[in-house]
Amino acid sequence: MLESVLIANRGEIACRIIRTARRLGLRTIAVHSDADADAPFVAMADEAYRIGPAAASESYLRIDAILEAAQRSRAASIHPGYGFLSERAEFAEACQKAGIVFVGPPASAIRAMGLKDAAKSLVEKAGVPVVPGYHGERQQPDFLRQKAYEIGYPVLIKAVAGGGGKGMRRVDKQTDFDAALESAQREAQNAFGDPRVLVEKYVLAPRHVEVQVFADTHGNVVHLFERDCSLQRRHQKVIEEAPAPGMTPEVREAMGRAAVEAARAVGYAGAGTVEFIADGREGLRADRFYFMEMNTRLQVEHPVTEEITGLDLVELQFHVAAGGRLPFAQEDLAVNGHAVEARLYAEDPEKGFLPSTGRLWALRLPEGEGIRVDTGVEEGGLVTPFYDPMIAKVVAHGATRDEALDRLSQALSETIVAGPKTNARFLRALADAEGFRAGQFDTGFIDRHLEGLGAVARPADPAAIAAAALALVDREAARITDAAVARGEVLSSPWWQDDGFQLVGARSQGLPLSVDGERLDILIAHEDGTARIGVPGRPMGEGEHEVSLVEAGEAMIALADGRQTQVALHDPFAVDLDQLGDGSGAVKSPMHGKVVTIAVSVGDRVEKGQRVGVVEAMKMEHALTAPVSGVVSEVAAEPGQQVAEGARIVSIEADG
Residues recognised as catalytic: 297
Residues 617 and 581 sit within 8 Å (Cβ to Cβ): no
Kindly give the residue spans of alpha helices, DSSP state H, lying in 88-197.
89-97, 107-114, 116-125, 141-151, 177-192
Residues 199 and 156 sit within 8 Å (Cβ to Cβ): yes
Three-class DSSP category at 541? coil
Q: How far apart are the two ends of the chain, measured CA to CA in Å? A: 74
Three-class DSSP category at 374? strand
Q: 493: Cβ–Cβ under 8 A, 6 or more apart, which residues?
A: none
For 221-235, the DSSP string reads EEEEEEEEEEEEETT
Rg of the chain over Cα atoms, rounded to whole angstroms, equals 27
Q: What's at 251, amino acid-wise?
A: V
* Helical (H) or strand (E) element with 465: helix 462-486
Q: What's phi and psi for 160, nearest 5 deg?
A: -75, -20
Three-class DSSP category at 628? coil
Q: 299: Cβ–Cβ under 8 A, 6 or more apart, which residues?
A: 82, 210, 212, 227, 273
* Helical (H) or strand (E) element with 314: helix 313-321
CA distance 176 to 198: 16
For 541: left if phi > 0, alpha if psi spans -120 to 50, otherwise beta; the answer is: left
Q: What's at 623, amino acid-wise?
A: A
Burial of 419 (C-beta count, 10 Å sphere; 0-12/13-18/19+)? buried
For 508-535, the DSSP string reads EEEEEEEETTEEEEEEEEEETTEEEEEB
- Please give the C-alpha separations between residue 174 and each of 78, 110, 151, 436, in angstroms, as whole numbers: 46, 34, 12, 32
For 592-625, the DSSP string reads SEEEEEE---TT-EE-TT-EEEEEEETTEEEEEE
CA distance 608 to 55: 33
- Please give the C-alpha separations between residue 50 and each of 11, 106, 278, in angstroms, as whole numbers: 15, 27, 44
Residues 592 and 385 sit within 8 Å (Cβ to Cβ): yes
Residues 319 and 327 sit within 8 Å (Cβ to Cβ): yes
The DSSP bridge partners found for residue 397 are 339
Residues 545 and 562 sit within 8 Å (Cβ to Cβ): no
DSSP state of 30: E
Q: What's at 184, amino acid-wise?
A: A
Neighbour tally for 1: CB within 10 Å: 13
- Total residues belonging to the chain: 656
